[in-house]
Amino acid sequence: MVNVGVVGCGYWGPNLIRNFSNLKSSRVVSCADVKEDRLSHMKQLYPTIRATNDFREILKDPEIDAVIIATPVAQHYPVAKEALEAGKHVFVEKPLAQSVEEGKALVELAARLGRTLMVGHTFVFTAAVNKIKDLIWSGELGEIHYVASSRVNLGIFQEDINVVWDLAPHDISIMNYVLNSRPVSVSAVGQSYIRPGIEDVAFLTLKYPQAALANIHVSWLNPNKIRSTTVVGSKKMLVYDDISSLEKIRIYDKGVTMTPHYDTFGEFHLSYRYGDIMIPRLDDAEPLKTECQHFVDVIEKGVPSRSDGDHGLDVLLALETAGRSMRERGAEIAIEYPPRTESAK
Ligand SMILES: NC(=O)c1ccc[n+]([C@@H]2O[C@H](COP(=O)([O-])OP(=O)(O)OC[C@H]3O[C@@H](n4cnc5c(N)ncnc54)[C@H](O)[C@@H]3O)[C@@H](O)[C@H]2O)c1
């Protein structure tokens, strides 16, 4: 049994409280928020959970094994640091921190103290994303040429971070996970149309090893809600629509091949293949439940983490590099990764 305390009971925190409360192997002992109305709401929903306006009470409680952090991004580092120093395991919402420097310090601290540090990259716990990973690694799609995603909607405008830090952690974590790789460079352009200095629209291009390209469009200024990822392989292609409830993934047996024999250079022929469309059945477990169970399993059984601090740091490196590129008007910038900590080897 892992006893947890949850810091931050705004929009997302209650989902974590619900899931950790419902697992057989974890229990929510207390929750913290600086806003009294959020605490009284939590007390109403969960009368047995202790509620406090000071997260340090959670850190001091010897009954608590792990701290779950669902505060705004600026609070991730200071709360996670104190929680690790208090000897707790830590689950921190995405993104891990608001800079690479902070993320690196957390990863090193967790490794030094032998505590579990996990980042809430929820999508790597979805059935759809895991199906895409299986399809890529079974070879069904062939060699991966490129991945393109759109995560756009009207709002919700954030006050403390731009749209890249708000939405792109999802796409970068998905791409790193399904490709089992990390981008070697990033170029990005973005614009702030509504509030000066906080980009609300951005286009990122990531280059992965073996020439795979990835493009990410994130926006708070779009008429429709779109959550779509297209993966184009040399054999097949797929479209993942996270908004669709029943047909999240469509695999298209489509492709283009160049006829191998021709007499002159100008004579080559392309043949287009228009085959069947397949819609795989997906498990409908709640991804957040799978994610919370994974955190407990990493702590209790030592299973390898799918979303540890190093994975979170990889995402921060791509985000920070995208920010530099935006300031340098879209320049392609190589990412330099620090050595992995012991936990990720
Ligand atoms: N994984 C996902 O799909 C997903 C989805 C939404 C949000 N998130 C992440 O969850 C986090 C929270 O997002 P949100 O939308 O719930 O924000 P929110 O602003 O609705 O909630 C944050 C809460 O934290 C509280 N808080 C701030 N500082 C605190 C402190 N020092 N101690 C205690 N409480 C404190 C605030 O009062 C607020 O109630 C963010 O990191 C966000 O990126 C993740």
Task: Report how far ligand 1's centroid is from the alpha carbon of 51 (Å).
Answer: 16
All residues at 6 or more sequence positions from 89 whose CB lies less than 8 Å from its CB, including other chains:
2, 65, 66, 67, 115, 116, 117, 118, 295, 299
Does 311 sit in the ligand 1 pocket, CB within 6 Å?
A: no
Residue 264: the pLDDT is 65
For residue 345, pLDDT over 50 is answered with no
Residue nearest to atom 43 of ligand 1 (CA): 94
Using CA positions, which residue lies closest to atom 10 of ligand 1? 70
Report pLDDT digits (tens) over 204-263. 999 999 889 999 999 999 999 999 999 999 999 999 999 999 999 999 999 998 877 666
Cβ 35 under 6 angstroms from ligand 1: yes
> For residue 274, how far is its CA from the centre of ligand 1 (angstroms)?
46
Would you state the pLDDT for residue 267? Answer: 64
Q: What percent of the chain has pLDDT over 70?
A: 96
User: What's the one-letter identity of residue 98?
Assistant: Q
Atom of ligand 1 lying closest to residue 78 CA: 31
| Mean pLDDT, the chain, whole residue set | 95
**DSSP letters for 137-150:** HTTTT-SEEEEEEE
**Chain segment 60-77, per-residue pLDDT in tens:** 999 999 999 999 999 999
| Section 292-301 average pLDDT | 98
Cβ(120) – ligand 1 distance below 6 Å: yes
Tell me the CA–centroid distance for residue 73 and ligand 1, in Å.
7
In the chain the domains, ranked by start, together with CATH numbers, are: 127-278 (3.30.360.10)
**Ligand 1 in reach of 13 Cβ (< 6 A):** yes
Residues in the chain, overall count: 345
pLDDT score recorded for residue 344: 45
C-alpha of residue 87 to centroid of ligand 1, in Å: 22
For the segment 171-185, what is each residue's pLDDT rounded down to a tens digit? 999 999 999 999 999
Of 93, 125, 160, 220, the one to substitute when testing ligand 1's pocket (max ligand atoms within 8 A of C-beta) is 93
Per-residue model confidence (pLDDT) at position 342: 58
Reported as type and span, the H/E element at residue 201 is: strand 201-207
Q: What is the pLDDT of residues 81-93, one digit of tens each?
A: 999 999 999 999 9
> Which amino acid residue places its CA nearest to atom 21 of ligand 1?
10
3-state SS, residue 94? coil
How much is the pTM? Answer: 0.96
Quickly state the pLDDT bin for 47 (edges 50, 70, 90): very high
Three-state DSSP state, 268: coil
Q: Is the pLDDT of residue 110 over 90?
A: yes
Kindly report the protein residue whose alpha carbon is nearest to atom 4 of ligand 1. 12
